């Protein structure tokens, strides 16, 4: 169940960060409200996750997968460039999450 709530926390964080792109510095009401709501939901689900998943593992997955997802969405939705260093960075983040999980993620 912990990893299911973690997936929800990641989805909410990615939605909130994507909505933030549309806030224009928090001058647009609806995207700003979506951003705030997304982060509240994300943190609430992350807090629930921590009942069953170690904090280091949960945070690494939450931040790593969120970062990689936002990088991909930046490419697909906002036309951000893709370079070898960016791809390498995303792969390193994902690799770090895998290594943390292989290193004994028990609770």
DSSP state of 38: H
pLDDT in single tens digits along all 107 residues of the chain: 899 999 999 999 999 999 999 999 999 999 999 999 999 999 999 999 999 999 988 998 999 899 989 999 999 999 998 899 988 988 898 888 888 777 765 54
**pLDDT, position 78:** 94
Q: How far apart are CA 52 and CA 34, in angstroms?
A: 28
Reading the block at residue 31, the tokens are 């995207």
Q: How far apart are CA 107 and CA 101, in angstroms?
A: 12
How buried is residue 27: exposed, middle or buried, by Cβ count under 10 Å (0-12/13-18/19+)? exposed
Contact of 83 with 58, CB cutoff 8 Å: no
Q: How far apart are CA 33 and CA 77, in angstroms?
A: 20
**pLDDT, position 104:** 61
């Amino acid at each position: 169940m912990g990893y299911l709530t973690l997936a929800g926390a990641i989805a909410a964080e990615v939605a909130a960060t994507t909505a933030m792109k549309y806030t224009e510095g928090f001058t647009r009401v609806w995207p700003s409200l979506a951003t705030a709501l997304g982060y509240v939901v994300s943190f609430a689900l992350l807090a629930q996750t921590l009942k069953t998943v170690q904090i280091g593992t949960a945070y690494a997955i939450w931040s790593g997968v969120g970062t990689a997802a936002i990088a991909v969405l930046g490419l697909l939705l906002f036309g951000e460039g893709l370079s070898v260093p960016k791809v390498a960075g995303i792969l390193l983040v994902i690799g770090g999450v895998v290594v943390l999980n292989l290193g004994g993620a028990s609770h």
